[in-house]
């Protein structure tokens, strides 16, 4: 379980195919001693398990395995060496819930339609997969590449978000442009509400 508040941006340092999965090595600023083997870390919104740990060039590095389902349903298949990914450690009891409840189970891949920069902020229009659009509402929450964000406007399968300077500076959204694809997790409560409505 996560909150969508990014705590570091990691660098992909190696990718090694292993049959139907990929072994990916990530370098980060987290203290190695605070990460346990088997720990869950969200990578661009995708919850992946730490399977190896080391220290290299003054940074913590760890390995994760991305299985076939993850590669098929998320942007992980498109990662390359040198790519940067938003990171968030799993929520602990007593932590502040600063964003919204995020599971790390990506629902689909969305696409950035446009970006408009003004006053050091940026407004993005995002196109969601049509089957997920019904879960997205104005003033509701979404997780995009793991970042908890508030939906401003909705027009069909498209919606807008506004990012403040801090978010642009501490996540990968500062470098995002129109045409980029991003991981989308819809709000958990919206999904459950829709499921309940189907039974009425």
Could you read off the pLDDT of 90-136 as tens digits, one per residue?
988 888 778 888 999 999 999 999 999 999 999 999 999 999 999 99
**Each residue of 43-96: pLDDT tens digit?**
999 999 999 999 998 899 999 999 999 999 999 999 999 999 999 999 888 887
Mean pLDDT of the chain: 94
State the Cα–Cα distance between residues 185 and 100, nearest whole angstrom.
11
pLDDT of res. 92: 85
pLDDT of res. 191: 72
Residues shown for the chain: 200
* End-to-end CA, the chain: 29
pLDDT of residue 193 exceeding 90: no
DSSP state of 196: H
State the Cα–Cα distance between residues 44 and 135, nearest whole angstrom.
20
pLDDT of residue 200 exceeding 70: no
State the Cα–Cα distance between residues 195 and 134, nearest whole angstrom.
11
DSSP state of 180: -
State the Cα–Cα distance between residues 133 and 169, nearest whole angstrom.
28
Structural domains in the chain plus CATH codes? 8-89 (2.40.30.20), 108-199 (2.40.30.20)
């Amino acid at each position: 379980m996560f909150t969508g508040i990014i705590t570091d941006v990691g660098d992909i340092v190696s990718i090694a195919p292993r049959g139907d999965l990929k072994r990916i090595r990530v370098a980060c600023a987290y203290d190695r001693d605070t990460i346990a083997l088997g720990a869950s870390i969200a990578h661009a919104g995708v919850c992946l398990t730490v399977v190896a740990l080391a220290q290299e060039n003054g940074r913590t590095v760890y390995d994760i395995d991305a299985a076939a389902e993850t590669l098929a349903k998320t942007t992980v298949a498109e990662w390359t060496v040198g790519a940067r990914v938003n990171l968030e450690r799993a929520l602990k009891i007593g932590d502040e819930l600063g964003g919204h409840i995020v599971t790390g189970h990506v629902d689909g891949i969305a696409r950035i339609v446009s970006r408009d920069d003004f006053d050091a902020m940026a407004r993005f229009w995002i196109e969601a997969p049509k089957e997920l659009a019904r879960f997205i509402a104005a003033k509701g929450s979404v997780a995009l590449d793991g970042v908890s964000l508030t939906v401003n406007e909705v027009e069909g399968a498209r919606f807008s978000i506004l990012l403040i300077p801090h978010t642009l500076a501490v996540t990968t959204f500062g470098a995002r442009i129109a045409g980029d694809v991003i991981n989308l997790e819809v709000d958990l409560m919206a999904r459950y509400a829709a499921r309940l409505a189907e039974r009425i």
